[in-house]
Amino acid sequence: MKRLLDDYIFDDILRYEAHQLVYKPDDTGEIALGGIMGAAVLGALLADTDEGDERGVLLDTPEQRNAFFERYEREVRRDNGGLFTTEVQALSDAYIEITDTDYLVRICRNDRLFDLAFGLVMDYMQRLVIEQVGAHIYEAVPWRVPFAQWLFDAGWAEAQRRHLLAVNWTDPAAVYALARELQPGNEPDPAEPVFLFEGESAERLMNDYFHWLWEQVQAQTSMMPDAAVQLAQLRPEILEKETDWDFIKPELKDLAPDSINLFRKWMNQWTEFVTGKLSDSPQNTFPPLAKRPMFCQELFSDNVLSCPRENNYVEVCDYIVERCRYDEPFRTFYKTRTRVQLCEQLTAMFGWYVNPNHLGKRLKKSKK
203 residue type, one letter: E
| Helix-helix angle 227-243:202-221, to 10 degrees | 140
| Helix-helix angle 313-326:227-243, to 10 degrees | 80
Let me know: does 176 contact 94? Beta carbons within 8 Å: no
Weakest mean pLDDT among 23-32, 44-53, 54-63, 95-104 = 23-32
221 residue type, one letter: T
**Model confidence over 90-133: pLDDT tens digits?**
999 999 999 889 999 999 999 999 999 999 999 999 999 999 99
Percent of the chain, pLDDT > 70?
Answer: 96
CA distance 112 to 299: 79
Rounded average pLDDT over 227-232: 75
pLDDT value, residue 281 = 61
CA distance 181 to 194: 20
Rounded average pLDDT over 23-36: 90
Rounded average pLDDT over 204-219: 91
CA distance 206 to 277: 11
368 residue type, one letter: K
pLDDT value, residue 290 = 56
Q: For residue 146, is the peptide bond before it cis, meaning its omega torsion is within 30 degrees of 0?
A: yes
CA distance 143 to 147: 8
DSSP annotation string for 302-351 = -SSSPPPPTT-HHHHHHHHHHHHHH-HHHHHHHHHS-HHHHHHHHHHHHS
Rounded average pLDDT over 130-149: 95
Let me know: does 363 contact 317? Beta carbons within 8 Å: yes
Residue 45 has pLDDT above 90, yes or no: yes
**Model confidence over 248-297: pLDDT tens digits?**
999 999 999 999 999 999 999 999 999 888 875 666 667 776 566 778 88
- 222 burial (CB, 10 Å; 0-12 / 13-18 / 19+) is exposed
Let me know: does 39 contact 72? Beta carbons within 8 Å: yes
DSSP character for 189?
P
pLDDT value, residue 171 = 95
DSSP character for 190?
P
